[in-house]
Amino acid sequence: MNPARTLIVDLPGPDLTPEQGRFLARHSFGGVCLFARNITAPERTARLVADIRSALGHDALVATDQEGGAVLRRLDVPHPPTPQALGRLGDTEAAREAGRVAARGLIELGINWNYAPSLDVNVDPLNPVIGERSFGADPRVVAELGVAWAQGSEELGVLSAVKHFPGHGDTRTDSHLALPVVDKSRAELEAVEWRPFRAAVRANLGSIMTAHILYPQIDAGHPATLSPALLHDLLRREWGYGGVIVTDAMDMRAVADRYPDGRGAVLALGAGADAVLVCGHGDLDIHVRHLEAVQRAVQAGELSSGRVVEAVGCLEQAARRFPGRPRAYTAAQQQTDDAWATGIAQRSLHSLGHRPSLDPQGTVVLIAHRQPALGGPYGDSLGGEKLAHALRPAFPKLRLALHDGQDLSAVTALLSECPDAAILLATTERWDVGEAVRQLARNLGGRRVVHLALWNPDVAVDLGLPALITDGFRPAQLRAVVSRLTA
């Protein structure tokens, strides 16, 4: 019985150094979660995954977050669409294929666990962390599409982790920063948030990830990740779930601020979790502190050795079911998947209001944020220069006006210089665009303008301009926008 096997850890960079290899071998953790900093050229990342497994010395789970849309860790292969776009289409088979597309890009490298998809019901459109990661606001649709997505992934050998149980869709607090509270009754949760997760249990999906959220009407004392009432009593005993329960990252402040230095790991395992995700962001000592806390708890009888044995057995069973044998992702299949993703982007693209036509040979002013801020799970965003690069082949006389969300003086100057130009106002921010951009939108009322809502679709309603809404900013969505603007 090795408590380290219950911990999923992270690594600092794209290669496993000899020192890091000895560290993994010494402790034999249950697996590793890779982030964007670890994933580079395919050959290099495949070598990293192989080195991790060799160092751990057992069938290990190697994980990442390849959700689609804005949460992607591998970018050099076709991207699955945003769940929000799939939800707009309501196409179960498209959702299943999205899971396959995500899986093909991971299993090629030997990655056998994807912390996706989100089964959160997007109850609150101002939710700061879910948004386009959700299949929508209808729990029936989220359940049907989310389960299909996960099944598509698992049929190609990549274990899914549906998240964030028991639901992160009705909060205005980001659990990366603070502890959200969802004060709903059991009946309310059964009707909305729990419906997709019940479907996941019925479908025997391989793993479920917990939410760092307090549900006081179910357990007033513990966030869900640490709650025996939610993990053991509800998920295991009442619903009969037999797969892996994995925590969200324990460095998130919703848990880390209250249960530091491994205390949260002990409570999560005691509550019924099998795998604790420990992220040190390059600091391997954090993994040691968590392991030592678990070991002390077992020695003191605070955490039973039987619970640890049970958790390790659950992870070993998952690793046998999803062994992570690399499978080639051929150029022909990538081309097919890329074309499929572009088709989904075209089908899900939709308009708001009466959109004026644009002359491809005329002057077009593109207004865009220089580089929107990131937060929570988001690894990258779309900057104005990159967007202009995608649009220029279709609009060779494109002029670019960049701003930082507050200072729009360069925008005002360029608009004065080009009084007859058509205008593309792009919003590439996930969060609020700010009062300066809202005021600009009001001032553009009399001009030929199209709003490109390239991340948060709710901004289109807020600004009230004729809009194209993409549900994402990846290459497939940009190709769809160009096609629609020039049609």
Q: CB-based contacts of 41: which residues, under 8 Å, 6+ apart?
A: 76
Distance CA 410, CA 141 (A): 44
The Cα–Cα gap between 363 and 422 comes to 7
CB atoms within 10 A of CB 469: 25
d(CA 368, CA 473): 13
The residues near 141 (Cβ < 8 Å, ≥ 6 apart) are 87, 90, 135
- How far apart are the C-alpha atoms of 433 and 476, rounded to whole Å? 23
Instruction: Look up 248 and say whether it is catalytic.
Output: yes
Catalytic residue among 176, 287, 403, 451: 176
Contacts of 93 (CB under 8 A, 6+ apart): 148
- Token pair of 121 as six digits: 């019901």
- Distance (Å, whole) CA 42 – CA 191: 43
Phi (first) and psi of residue 313, to 5 degrees: -60, -40
In the block, residue with structure tokens 């150029």: 331
Distance, in Å, from the CA atom of 252 to the CA atom of 246, rounded to the nearest integer, reads: 14
Given the residues 248, 251, 337, 471, select the one marked as catalytic.
248
Half-sphere exposure of 454 (CA within 13 A, CB side): 30
Among all residues, which ones are annotated catalytic?
A: 176, 248
